[in-house]
């Protein structure tokens, strides 16, 4: 079950890898999109562990995050301001905090399970 | 409990779909990176390329302006001289200018285009140096042209004058300190028969290139225009000697 998203990730990767390469102008935007997408996925995982997951929020967030991040970079390019740095830093920090939060949640969940196991069967 | 399992499965499907999208983007990016290096690098390179091309067009525009102004100046001088009986002096001035390459020239002559050979190094295991045009190839041809009585020569739009040097830095050839890419095109004004036969001489400059399958196009032209040089030569060390007897 857990393997399904990972398989999808690999399938997506290799499906595109055989296609012709995009012009290098796009490379910066796609990098930002990847960061935004990863942030949305990790945010979704955290929300699920915290039991406040909302599917609509998750899916719209995934695409909207990407769009907004790319848009911000585009505006930055047009204005000659390195806005992509701001986006990178903001998303990077969020990914870090979310991952830290997920780790904490998993550790506490594990501990609770073990202590309840030690208490004996219900 | 049942609902929780249901939503769990659903959540996994959604996650799978989004992971597919993310994987595709990752694939695109990795591919682009493999194809042409770092993205940061691409950003910087794009900016630099834009700057260079802008500067280049600016230089080109200013060159044109200089050339136009020079022609205008010559015309004014001619008119002024006619009014003051200085026609002889004015003629001499124009001749000197023409000899220095400060005026564009027009006349009968030839056009010669050279490009790298279609043969490749790996066809016969030799060095690829054999199949590209080098600075010394061009120098040899220019020498041949002057010897055959060429009166004005330009190479890829660069007028060749007394101070013109053909140099090579790495794989690039420079004339008048301007980088010129292949194909190389000579515009030459002079006696067509002399120029043609000088170039086509057996074992001459073009013979060797033709044998190695270089692209060589030599055509006589009724009217050839050779541009002026962009920057007039300045004398920083040499001074004219005006005394009567020079040893």
pLDDT, tens digit (0-9, with 9 covering 90-100), for A8-61: 888 888 888 777 767 667 777 888 899 999 999 999 889 988 888 888 888 999
Over its C-alpha atoms, chain B yields an Rg (Å, rounded) of 29
Percent of chain B at pLDDT > 90 equals 18
B16 and A CB contact within 8 Å? yes
Answer yes or no: is pLDDT of B186 > 90. yes
Average pLDDT, chain B: 82
Answer yes or no: is pLDDT of A121 > 60. no
Length of chain A: 122
Over residues B51-72, mean pLDDT: 87
Answer yes or no: is pLDDT of A117 > 70. no
Length of chain B: 247
Sheet with B172-175: strands ordered across = B166-169, B172-175, B178-180
**How far A118 CA sits from the closest chain B CA (Å)?**
24
Residue, of A94 and B209, whose pLDDT is higher: A94
Residues in chain B closer than 8 A to A13 (CB atoms):
23-24, 26-27, 30
The residue with tokens 């066809």 is B123
Do the Cβ atoms of B142 and B166 come closer than 8 Å? Answer: yes
> B158-160 and B152-155 as β-strands: parallel, antiparallel, unpaired?
antiparallel
Answer yes or no: is pLDDT of B138 > 80. yes
Over residues B204-230, mean pLDDT: 87
Answer yes or no: is pLDDT of B126 > 70. no
Backbone angles phi, psi at B158, to 5 degrees: -100, 120
Domain range summary for chain B, segments of one domain joined by +:
2-37, 105-226
B32 and A CB contact within 8 Å? yes
For B14, the closest of A25, A37, A58 (CB atoms) is A58
Determine the pLDDT at residue A37.
92
**What is the CA angle B192-B197-B203, rounded to 5?**
150
> B166-169 and B178-180 as β-strands: parallel, antiparallel, unpaired?
unpaired
Answer yes or no: is pLDDT of B7 > 80. no
Over residues A83-93, mean pLDDT: 90
Q: pLDDT tens, B65-90?
A: 888 888 888 888 888 877 777 777 88
* Lowest-confidence region among A76-85, A112-121, B73-82, B132-141: A112-121
List of residues 6+ apart from A79 with CB closer than 8 A: none
Report residue B117 as tokens: 């050979």
Please check whether the domain covering B105-226 is classified as CATH 3.30.70.1880: yes
CB-CB under 8 Å, B23 with A9: yes
Determine the pLDDT at residue B170.
77
**CB-hemisphere CA count at 13 Å for B159?**
26
Strand partners, B169: B172
Distance, CA of B122 to CA of B105 (rounded, Å)? 44
Residue A41 CA to chain centroid, in angstroms?
3
């Amino acid at each position: 079950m857990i393997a399904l998203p990972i398989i999808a990730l690999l399938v997506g990767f290799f499906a595109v890898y055989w296609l012709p390469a995009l012009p290098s102008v796009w490379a910066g935007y796609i990098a930002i999109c990847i960061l935004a997408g990863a942030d949305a996925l990790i945010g979704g995982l955290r929300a699920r562990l915290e039991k406040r997951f909302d599917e609509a929020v998750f899916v719209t967030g995934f695409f909207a995050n990407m769009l907004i991040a790319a848009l911000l970079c585009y505006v930055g390019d047009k204005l000659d301001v390195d806005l992509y740095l701001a986006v990178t830093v903001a998303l990077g920090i969020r990914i870090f905090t979310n991952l830290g939060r997920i780790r904490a949640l998993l550790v506490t969940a594990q501990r609770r399970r073990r202590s309840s196991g030690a208490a004996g069967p219900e | 409990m049942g609902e929780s399992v249901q939503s769990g499965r659903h959540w996994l499907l959604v996650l799978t779909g989004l992971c597919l999208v993310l994987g595709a983007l990752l694939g695109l990016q990795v591919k682009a990176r493999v194809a042409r290096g770092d993205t940061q690098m691409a950003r910087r390179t794009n900016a630099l390329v834009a700057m260079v091309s802008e500067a280049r067009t600016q230089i080109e525009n200013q060159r044109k302006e200089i050339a136009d102004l020079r022609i205008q100046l010559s015309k004014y001088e001619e008119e002024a001289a006619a009014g003051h009986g200085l026609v002889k002096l004015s003629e001499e001035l124009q001749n000197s200018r023409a000899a220095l390459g400060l005026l564009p020239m027009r006349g009968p002559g030839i056009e010669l285009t050279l490009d790298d050979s279609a043969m490749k190094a790996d066809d016969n295991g030799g060095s690829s140096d054999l199949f590209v045009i080098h600075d010394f190839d061009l120098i040899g041809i220019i020498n041949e042209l002057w010897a055959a009585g060429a009166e004005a020569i330009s190479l890829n739009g660069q007028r060749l004058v007394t101070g013109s040097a053909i140099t090579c830095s790495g794989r690039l050839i420079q004339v008048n300190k301007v980088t010129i890419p292949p194909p190389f095109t000579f515009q030459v004004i002079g006696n067509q028969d002399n120029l043609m036969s000088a170039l086509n001489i057996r074992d001459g400059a073009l013979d060797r290139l033709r044998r190695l399958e270089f692209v060589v196009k030599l055509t006589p032209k009724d009217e050839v225009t050779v541009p002026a040089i962009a920057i007039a030569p300045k004398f920083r060390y040499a001074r004219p000697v005006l005394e009567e007897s020079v040893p």
